[in-house]
Structure 1
Amino acid sequence: MARSWLTASLLGLVRLSAALGPQLGLPEMWEEFRRESELETVVQTASTSVTFRLSTNGTAPGAPNPATLYKAYNLSVPIDHFHNDSMYEPHSNGTFPLRYWYDDRFYKPGGPVIALAAGETNGAGRLPFLQKGIVAILAEATNGVGVILEHRYYGSSYPTPDFSTKNLRFLTTDQALADTAYFAKHIVFPGQLAKINLTAPETPWIMYGGSYAGAFVAFLRKVYPDVFWGAISSSGVTAAVVDFWEYYEAARLYSPDGCAETTQKLTHVVDNVLLQKGNTTKDDILTLKTAFGLQNVTENVDFASTIRGGIGGLQSRNWDPAIDGRAFLRYCGNMTSDKVIWPATEKLDSTIRYLLKSGGYESEVEELIPRFKNYIGYVNFTSVSTCRQTQDECFGAGNDEDYADDDLNASWRLWSYQYCSQWGYLQTGSGVPNNQLGLISRLIDIDFTTRICRKAFNITTPPDVDAINKYGGYNFSYPRVAIIDGESDPWRAATPNKIGLARPESTTKEPNLVIAGGAVHHWDENGIFINETTSELPPLPVKEAQDFEVEFVRAWLQEWKETNGQKVTVREVR
């Protein structure tokens, strides 16, 4: 029997600031979904109030809750756009409701459609960007209509009655791209816009997306150039990578002083013990696990995975106080403090001395003792103390039946299926070059990170990244596609602005920007209300990035007017 809290809703409501994130083991995902159930209840409860403050959407006190401000609509789109492709057999002639929201408060005749691709999450979680974020900013600047468009299978845009592996065959990026093109060519917005033809290409459509959705809109512009006039790919992961060990490179390069270095050294100690290197013995493995309070975790790789979480929190940082994750800075505070933060770890003094010496750091024992104690205390507080079952149930692989749920509540299957089948991004420690210390254990390898692929979907082959990289990968380039990245973003390593690659020249035709100031994952997407602005919010690099986007989008629209003429088509009402 699957766990009851797997009937909860969606990952996106937990991680609004991070479309993609550090990969979770199944037990960790179960805990995420338990939290999501609580969040969904809050959202539903708030639906009767227009002045609710929700931490999940960052609505300012007294401001309308976007969940009630914007009504959801649906457009019927084909389930299967590619009847000549055998990978979708048996084919379907059916349709499904693709959910969307729109805002016409800034629209004036001749204005564009500014549409945000919601990506691999519930589209409702993107509504703040329609209310006060990048969609609102661009729509106001261009007299446009703002739109949030949900991705097939996510939220409530269900093409199939369940999420069985057989029915997930239609969950591909190509099918979702075709959905969006179909939507742009067929949509009739309700209300006062119903008489105006806002379909593409009669009206210029500018797409925006962040992370997976950033790559998605870049591909849209390239695959359907006659439909979409331009696209902004923010943190767009245009390169699909199987072994994505470089996810942690941003943390290595941009963590607060001492955080990455300490993590590397203590991870090295852990690996030396688990892999029986140097002066370690087999008994030392139990000593190590017991020090962390994880002595009942059977598999060494599950133990290594359980203690890795803190350094992956970099992605959750955001300039927007409503969604900024503080866990990363708390973790780094623990890892760089020379004072013991967790008094209960003082009793481990002799054990930690022994582990440091046998693990290869005898010359740095005095410096590393308090930091190792704080590391143990942090893991105990954030992971060990939350376990209410056996440790193998909390932190292990789970039973086969745990992977069997495939009804519409099992939305954990969706992005997992996408990365198992096509996108990859398997965040390993084993892939780190041998001349470099890793930030997570080398036991975390391709076999471990694909365990969910085998157990949940019976996928035993590597992800077909060629199906994604055919669009350009690291070399992606196309007219009127802007490439925007954060300098400290872990996902920058899967974009054309990857460190070490030659930066493309920025032009009005193909804008390119790396947002400075410690920017992480699609920081340009967020916005705040005018009465929330201060001398520090938004940060100057973010404000300059958004101003830059307004500037080149206006230039693109001027080009459209010069090419097509200023025209507003009125529909014939029957």
Structure 2
Amino acid sequence: MYEPHSSGKFDLRYFFDATYYKAGGPVIVLESGEDDAIDRLPYLQKGIAHQLAEATGGIAVVLEHRYYGTSFPTPDLSTENLRFLTTQQALADTAFFARNVVFEGLEDQDLTAPHTPYIAYGGSYAGAFVAFLRKTYPDTYYGAISSSGVTKAIYDFWEYYEPVREYGPPDCILATQRLTNIVDNILLGKNITKGLVKELKTAFGLQDIQYNDDFANTLSTGIGGWQGRNWDPAVNDPSFSQYCANITANSTLYPTPANLTRTVKQLVAAGGYASQSATLTTQMLNFISYVNITLVQPCIAGGQTTNECYTTHNASFYALDDITQTWRSWPYQYCSQWGFLQTGSDVPKDQLPLISRTITLEYESIICRDAFNITTPSDTAIINAYGGYDISYDRLAFIDGEDDPWRGATPHAPEAKPRTSTTDQPFILIEGAVHHWDENGLFPNETTASLPPAPVAQTQMDEAAFVRAWMAEWNAGKR
């Protein structure tokens, strides 16, 4: 049964721009997914929603998902009250919106579905969401564009790091694999002493961290920055490039105490790389300095121990469920339905992982048990019933990034069946792109010869073209 929320009211937040609206134009709904609607406002101003509205004479809208931003329908975020947070309920919200909305200043016009064509766009979770929306409510949403849409729910998603391994800078990837292997050989080795483990943690300035899996997980922060890369300098997260520049340098980048150099040489040897000691000692020293600057010092400056900053074993924190604990929304969704636990333990044994093998399903699901008392794997079958890799529908487009770490959960996954792109069912893989790179854009005075990159610019032009074709089909049907 559909529950708008506990009080029976529908009040999900939205923003809209009717600058380009012409009678008969579509409503372009940008689904905010697991973000605050405010975070999506730039896309309304100059991103894909703006571009599609301009191309079609439509209205661009950003719609907020229940239990995110300001759209909290319950007085607290206890597990009991989070029962209304399901993808199915949110899909019904979005259909309800299209059927009932009245836009301020346009009250004299009926802009509800199905009298007006609604086209949904979403990226990441929201990308899968709008694909499901088109398939579930085809009479309400005339079309949908799924960008980096994770339509295949996967509980143990160790493949998250596969595009990083395949497309990342080779020297950085190799260094990360070897440094991670050294750490694992010390943490997981049968003949390794507790003293050596303590020496390893101390070398990184993380001796306060109690659990080995917490320690190893903290070290994965740098490689985890891959997803934040973007073609737009204003949106780009430079942390991955900074991480790689540090661990691949040919000489130490920071002052290094002599005793630390000796310690690191011993750790490299104990980790099984004595024959490559010179190179890996330099790389680990720079890695240690990088961790100190980016993780240790900010934590201490904030008045906490590194264990307080970076532990996942924190049942007392997870027990908090007042309305300010907005972090609870997405973990509840992935613990209950979506999965996507990113492990290092299940990387094939003949392959060096990019994150530690101590990062297991047991570790990644701590939050599920301690925050929500969910002790069984996510019920991914609920999500995959929409079609998984094979989901398709007329006027449903899939736009994905070649280098996206989430590609393995999209219809462009290596395991998925190949498709032919058509105007009715576009299927586009953006060369060199990471996570929904077609979503953001630039004002005309911000563009350059290289920005947006040619593959992104071409994709955005293709999107405008096929949406115009969809609108031509709509108008022909009306006639």
Q: What is the TM-score when the length of structure 1 is the normalising length?
A: 0.81
Q: How far apart are the structure 1 equivalents of 2:15 and 2:379? A: 33
Instruction: Give the match for residue 2 of structure 2.
Output: 81
1:525 partner SS: coil
Alignment partner of 1:99 is 2:13: yes
1:560 corresponds in structure 2 to: 474
Structure 2 distance, partners of 1:380, 1:480, is 50
Give 1:14's aligned residue.
none
* CA–CA separation in structure 2 for the residues paired with 1:419 and 1:521: 19
In 2, distance between residues paired with 1:485 and 1:532? 24
Identity, in percent, stands at 57
Contact 2:390 2:416 in 1 (8 A): no
In the alignment, the residues of structure 2 paired with residue 452 and residue 495 of structure 1 have an alpha-carbon distance, to the nearest angstrom, of 25
1:391 deviates by 3.0
More divergent stretch after superposition (399-408 vs 521-530): 399-408
Alignment correspondent of 1:453: 368
Is the contact made by 1:150 and 1:157 (CA closer than 8 Å) also made in structure 2? yes
Residues in 2 aligned to 1:345 and 1:338: alpha-carbon distance in whole angstroms:
18
- Deviations, residues 405-454 of structure 1 (Å, cap 9, x unaligned): 22221100000111111111101111111111111111110111111111
Secondary structure at the counterpart of residue 242 of structure 1 = strand
Structure 1 counterpart of 2:22, which letter? K
Deviation at 1:255, TM superposition (A): 1.2
Number of corresponding residues: 476
Q: Secondary structure at the match of 1:502?
A: coil
Q: Following superposition of structure 1 onto structure 2, how do residues 149-548 of structure 1 map, counting pairs within 5 Å?
A: 149-191=63-105, 193-277=106-190, 280-344=192-256, 347-387=259-299, 388-397=303-312, 399-516=314-431, 518-548=432-462
Q: 1:515 & 1:500 partners in 2: Cα distance? A: 18
CA distance in 2, matches of 1:101, 1:447: 40
Inter-partner Cα distance in structure 2 for 1:268 and 1:398 = 23
Query: What displacement does 1:489 show?
Result: 0.7
| CA distance, structure 2, for counterparts of residue 92 and residue 102 of structure 1 | 26
Write the deviation string for residues 508-559 of structure 1: whole angstroms up to 9, x where unpaired. Answer: 111011111x211101000110011111111111100100001111111111
Q: Which runs of 4+ in 1 moved over 4 A?
A: none
Question: Is the 2:123–2:149 Cα contact (8 Å) retained in structure 1?
Answer: yes
Q: 1:334 to 1:118 in 2, by over 3 A?
A: same
CA RMSD in angstroms comes to 1.5
SS of the residue corresponding to residue 11 of structure 2 reads strand
The 10-residue stretch of structure 1 (469-478 or 383-392) with the greater mean CA deviation from structure 2: 383-392
- Asked if structure 2 preserves the Cα contact closer than 8 Å seen for 1:207 and 1:228, the reply is yes
Note if contact 2:6-2:74 (Cα within 8 Å) is conserved in structure 1. no
What per-residue deviation string (whole Å, max 9, x for no partner) do you get for residues 153-207 of structure 1? 111112211111100000000000000001101111111x211111111111111
**Structure 2: 5+ residue stretches without partners:** none
Checking the alignment, whether the CA contact within 8 Å between 1:239 and 1:469 is kept in structure 2 is yes
Q: Find the aligned partners of 2:307 and 2:6 in 1 and give their Cα distance.
A: 42
Asked if the contact 1:345/1:377 (under 8 Å) is kept, the reply is no
SS in 1 for 2:349: coil
The answer to whether the 8 A contact 2:183-2:356 is kept is: yes
- Given that residues 345 and 373 in structure 1 are in contact (C-alpha distance below 8 angstroms), is that contact kept between their aligned partners in structure 2? no
CA distance in 1, matches of 2:116, 2:9: 25
CA contact (8 A) 1:114 1:207 kept: yes
Paired letter, 2:2: H
Give 2:310's aligned amino acid. F
SS of aligned partner of 1:97: coil
